[in-house]
Copies of this chain bind each other. A is one copy, B any other.
Amino acid sequence: MVTTQRRAERARQVADGLRQRIVAGEVGDLLPGERALGEWFGASRNVVREALGLLRDEGLVERRQGVGTLVVRPKYGHGLDRLTGLAEALEGHGEVVNEVRTAETVAAPPSVAERLGLTAGEEVVHLERVRRLGGAPLSLDSTYLVADLGIPLLGKDLAHRDLFALLEETNGIRLGRAEVEVHAVSAGPDTAALLDVAPGTAVFALDRLTRLPDGRPVDAEWLHIRADRLTLRATLQRGAA
């Protein structure tokens, strides 16, 4: 006898395996039928149906009457191995276009000043951009830059360029490293509206602090990323025990 609980457990396992295959690009736009998926995962059709329901709730697939189950859109991987901008990471997948919502100098509140190693009230550049690929939002980036590197960017092509590349080119510098902290959160009303998802949808929230090679913090960012469109990818080495 397959209990409801046991079926939910199997459905979770099948959904996990199928998500991984979809993201790896190992299935096409149209998923195999329920019977074939059941054989692939060693699961009953009821389990497969429940698993597809979980992936539908994530916005990854949709059921089309008379056609089958379709992958809604490709999910792109953004590497956590190396510090790259989104447009660099998505090269070859289409052009990332940024809707620039804010680009101005402001007096740094204590919270931002501390993060950038400044005194409260010092001038910083605040940029806020919704980044899109193929028309639909990928991420919402709220960025504070130190004035000496940020002000020269205000006249530049913020709509079509990655900040990292612009910072380096415009100022003739190289960035060093960034510390990143990744959260998974439910989108609040403002994030949901700007990213065009339902409030409460699971999204990534990232804190990223980018430094020059000498350690000076120059770029404090808070990003919200649509988790139905991007995954974060890393290769980890086993170090000394």
Contacts and interface: CB of A to CB of B under 8 A. Distances in A.
A54 B185 CA distance: 10
Interface in A21-45: 21, 23-24, 39-43
A65 interface: no
B235 A8 contact: no
A181 interface: yes
A183 B17 CA distance: 13
A234 interface: yes
Interface string A70-99: 000000010011111000000000000000
A43 B110 CA distance: 11
Interface range, A side: 35 or more
Contacts of A222: 13, 16-17, 20
A184 interface: yes
A204 B15 CA distance: 14
Instruction: Provide the main secondary structure of the chain A interface.
Output: mixed
B176 A237 contact: yes
21 contacts: A5-B190, A8-B189, A8-B193, A9-B190, A14-B111, A20-B181, A23-B181, A57-B186, A58-B186, A77-B181, A80-B236, A82-B237, A168-B241, A174-B238, A177-B235, A177-B237, A178-B235, A179-B233, A181-B232, A184-B203, A186-B201
Interface of A: 5, 8-9, 11-17, 19-21, 23-24, 39-43, 54, 57-58, 77, 80-84, 107, 109-112, 115, 142, 164-165, 168, 174-186, 188-191, 193, 200-205, 207, 222, 224, 227, 231-239, 241
